[in-house]
Amino acid sequence: MEPVPGVRRGPDRIALLAWTVAVVLALVMAGLAVVGVRAIGAQREVISDWWATAVAGTEAPPPYVEPLPGPPPVDRPGASEEAAAKDAGRVIVNPSWRVQPRSVYPNRAQRQGVESGRVELRCPVSAEGQIKSCWILSETPADAGFGQAALAGAVQARLQPRTVDGVAVPTTISFTMRFRLE
């Protein structure tokens, strides 16, 4: 059999391009699905708490607060001595609570039968004494909702900011929130 003039044999470039585009789109959609599942997981907990609250008729749960990404800043050894030498002769007042953090016991922990929890936080504090979010250093027990409850309570708190010679400056604080089912 002789080849027909004008007809090519072998892979068709348009078909190959279409196949490549289809594979790339499939990979992009899979990546979006993974990101979406993580976001849906966080929102599912918020919706679940809202639903349990609406059905139970109790007060609404606090809004979802995104924890700060990555590890918190680490204090360098000797940094406090450097700071003390630099601040010699200055009047420094460390931050103090104006409104202490309070949070609602997580519905998830209640459903799991967990009677107590503990969360360690490290939070940047603005010169105005506000906390926007925090790093969760530890959460015990994990996956019972205590971390999110602690974050929601922390952002509602207010501090008297740190001052140096009477001027408010941003700082970072660390504290522990304890939960007990009553």
The percent of the chain in helix, strand and coil, each rounded to the nearest 5, is: 40, 25, 40
CB-CB contact of 173 with 159 (8 Å): yes
- pTM comes to 0.62
Residues of the chain falling short of pLDDT 50: none
User: What one-character DSSP code corresponds to residue 141?
Assistant: S
Look at residue 1 in the predicted model and tell me its pLDDT.
Answer: 55
Look at residue 181 in the predicted model and tell me its pLDDT.
Answer: 87
CA dist., res. 62 & res. 152, Å (int): 6
CA dist., res. 66 & res. 38, Å (int): 12
| φ, ψ at 33 (rounded to 5°) | -65, -40
DSSP 31-71: HHHHHHHHHHHHHHHHHHHHHHHHHHT-PPPPPP-PPPPSP
Average pLDDT, the chain: 81
Segment 81-134, tens digit of pLDDT:
556 656 677 888 999 999 999 989 999 999 999 999 999 999 999 999 999 999
Look at residue 61 in the predicted model and tell me its pLDDT.
Answer: 62
Look at residue 27 in the predicted model and tell me its pLDDT.
Answer: 84
